[in-house]
Amino acid sequence: MTELDFAKGNGLITAVVQDAKTKQVLMVAYQNRESWEKTLATGETWFWSRSRKELWHKGATSGNTQKVVNITIDCDADTVLIMVDPAGPACHTGHTSCFFTPQKLATQS
């Protein structure tokens, strides 16, 4: 198993969460070693809340859990791509994905 580089991100790695069926990017969050290990042990996503300074289990309050299907580690071992089977919306706003606000480029008319 590849050892993740938690030191590079001051104890955190970036976790990109993608729907295993649709391939839609659902969310980006952060994991510390404990949330990473809980994700591996439980088969559901766990993260570290930078604002609340605590572990959180995705869906613990909403019921919108994410069952892990596959995990891939990037070449620098500081980011993971977690493919999931979601049990509801990923975004706290109720959207399927946290990525729903388009940004217009200056070069676009």
**85 known ligand binder:** no
**5 known ligand binder:** no
Rounded average pLDDT over 93-102: 95
**75 known ligand binder:** yes
- Looking at residue 108, its pLDDT comes to 79
**98 known ligand binder:** yes
- Looking at residue 2, its pLDDT comes to 81
CATH of the domain at 71: 3.10.20.810
Rounded average pLDDT over 4-15: 97
Sign of the alpha-carbon dihedral angle for 2, 66, 20, 104: negative
Domain count, the chain: 1
pTM of the model: 0.93
Residue 56 maps to a domain: yes
Range of the domain at 19: 7-86
Question: Which three-class secondary structure state does DSSP give residue 56?
Answer: strand
Residue written as token pair 């859990």: 65
- Looking at residue 91, its pLDDT comes to 94
For 37-82, the DSSP string reads HHHHHHSB-EEEETTTTEEEETTTTTS--EEEEEEEE-TTSSEEEE
Per residue in 23-38, pLDDT (tens digit) is 999 999 999 999 999 9
Residue 103 maps to a domain: no
Residue 65 maps to a domain: yes
Residue 106 maps to a domain: no
